[in-house]
Amino acid sequence: MKIENSVALVTGANRGIGLAFAQGLLARGARKVYAAARHPSTISLAGVEPIRLDVTNPEEVAAAAEKAFDVTLLVNNAGVGHFGGFLAADAEDAARRMLETNFYGMLRMSRAFAPVLQRNGGGALLNVLSIVSWVNGGELAAYAASKSAAWSLTNSLRFELAAQGTQVTALHMAFVDTDLVRHVDAPKTSAADVVARALDGVAAGVAEVLADDRTRDVKRSLSALDAGYLPLRAA
């Protein structure tokens, strides 16, 4: 799909990867970029059209689909994260909160905008996932589970939307240099680099974008006996 002259909507566009997506789309010549956030007043990027959107609110999702009727590229980026394992005291509440945004929010948006994309020639759907779609070490247990569910959703949508000509691309990456992991001492990729690789993938029509070396290593390991999602065995 061509990015130039497209009409895009980015969820969670007020900061982090979402802001980088809005910037990247404008730089590549998108005709219009809807920058969606729970509070549109937090959108400060020039050249975008702010839109109120909480992906956990069905009424706001429906209103966004009605307002942004010209969208040809939907970037499902909105997400929440929380450190902690499944044995933590707040694990159930954390899991529900993250599934509500990271899975059900993506599902709501995809369902609401599928007819919009169809009317506008098919277009594309880009779902922002993570390396933790495949790896769950317990530090981000509920977040990882929600991204695994979103990966499965994305894989299903790829088949379900094929008949209407909608391209579905999944974006996987390890740590990105954003507020979510600012206290994590680990290699991080810049949000701008992740977005550039993602948009290159959309333009090339690929099904999955693996945005960094760590993600590519884990994906390759999934069929191995010592798969990346398993604990390291003692020597």
Tell me the catalytic residues. Answer: 143
Of 147, 42, 162, 156, nearest in space to 102 by CA: 147
The C-alpha atoms of residue 54 and residue 36 are separated, in whole angstroms, by 8
The two most distant CA atoms of the chain are separated, in Å, by: 59
Q: Say which residues have a Cβ less than 8 Å from residue 21's Cβ, sequence separation at least 6.
A: 8, 10, 13, 75, 77, 195, 198, 199
Hey, is 73 helix, strand or coil?
strand
Hey, is 37 helix, strand or coil?
strand
Sheet containing 7-10: which strands, arranged edge to edge?
A: 49-52, 32-37, 7-10, 73-76, 124-128, 167-172, 208-210
What phi-psi label fits residue 168: left (phi over 0), alpha (psi between -120 and 50 degrees) or beta? beta
